[in-house]
Amino acid sequence: MRLRFLTRLRGVRPTRDGVWVMAAGGCLLVVALNSGNNLLYLLLSMMIALLVTALCIAEASLRGIVPKRSPPARLHAGVPFLMGIALRNEKKRLSSFSIEVEDLCDEKVVDKRCYFLKIPSGRTQQTAYRHTLPRRGRYVFSAFRISTKFPFALFRSSRYVEHRSEIVVYPAIVPLQHFPKTLTSAVGERSMPKLGRRGNFHGLREYQTGDDPRDIHWRSSARRQRLMVREQEIEAVQQVTLFVDNALPLDKRDNPDELESLEKVISWAASLGAFYLEQGYAVRLCVRSLDPPLSPLWSPSSLQKLLLTLALLPTVSPDVPFQKPPPLPRHGTLPVAGSGDSLILVRPGADLSKDKPCGHILEAK
């Protein structure tokens, strides 16, 4: 409500130079009233006209300015990014000068400003500011504060423009080089409907740049008068299930250290998921929740689903059970190499003696 009220107003605040000019005008008014000198009245009128002119020109410069925000497609917690800002001057004749733009995130002004020297009429100017969001989750950018000190820097005139954007910040990704023990001990392999170099015939598609010429099906290419490529299925893929413990007791949710430990757990889970998908594993995610689990992920292109789920993962109480792992589907008559699974439990302060039956355990410290 407070922000909506401010959007209807034009804020005006005198600068340091403006304060000195108004103080000099006040002194001049007192002297003119006591002396009755017409020259002093004339000088006072000129100073008042100067102040009024500054306010009118600043208002005309701010009018017709339409801001727009362009966030990057993918954000991670703790990683700096560039937020694109574009201003369009919709006035037909007048240009706008010396415009400053401040962004409002969760009704707080971002500490970075964008400056535009001149925006011609009917034109759009673009720039960006560098910012970092410290935690995962959903952020709401609600409005802009546009201000100017043009033309005499006596006042800072500003106005609020509502422009709502919701941005989801993914967990931080820790670069992982290799986990040899975890990778070599994954015993679960299943036949999956995934495209690969060898396996059962899947279908034909048109040739694209970068395809292996050995996969060209010449008979179909001659019949269709264009190059056609064979697609085949991978006979078996390894699988891994990530159990992420997102529970915290109620008495510890106000503890910054406990919250930071939980954020590290989620960051490790996102890093492991990205690593295994890149290695060609089928990944399943199980968290403490009453909602249905995320469907199995097969390729790096499905990493965004995993990151989105972890970015919006709420903190629950320890009595909430883990989700039941979703089943891995079997495709047609493809052979199944095994029914096992490599399990990883990611939680703060894991007890190795109790959690060892769950497989490989990573302690987030």
Radius of gyration (C-alpha) of the chain in whole angstroms: 31
pTM of the entire predicted model? 0.71
Q: Which of 250, 253, 246 is nearest to 309 (CA)?
A: 246
Say if strands 96-105 and 137-148 run parallel, antiparallel, or are unpaired.
Answer: antiparallel
pLDDT tens readout for residues 158-193 = 988 888 999 999 999 887 665 534 444 443 444 444
Task: Tell me the C-alpha distance between 87 and 98, whole Å.
Answer: 12
pLDDT for 289: 85
Report which of residues 89 and 338 the model is more confident about: 89
Q: Cα torsion at 73, 78, 79, 80 (round to 10°)?
A: 100
pLDDT for 117: 92
Read off φ and ψ for residue 351, nearest 5 degrees: -90, 110
Sign of the CA dihedral 311, 312, 318, 324? negative
pLDDT for 341: 59
Task: Tell me the C-alpha distance between 349 and 360, whole Å.
Answer: 14
Residue 332 pLDDT class (50, 70, 90 cuts): very low
Domain coordinates in residue numbering, the chain:
2-170, 180-194+236-363, 195-233
Task: Tell me the C-alpha distance between 144 and 258, whole Å.
Answer: 34
Percent of the chain as helix, strand, coil, to the nearest 5? 30, 35, 35
pLDDT tens readout for residues 5-47 = 444 456 888 889 999 999 999 998 898 888 888 888 899 899 9
Quote the longest CA-to-CA distance of the chain.
107
2-170: CATH topology: Immunoglobulin-like (2.60.40)
Residue 151, preceding peptide bond in cis (omega within 30° of 0): yes
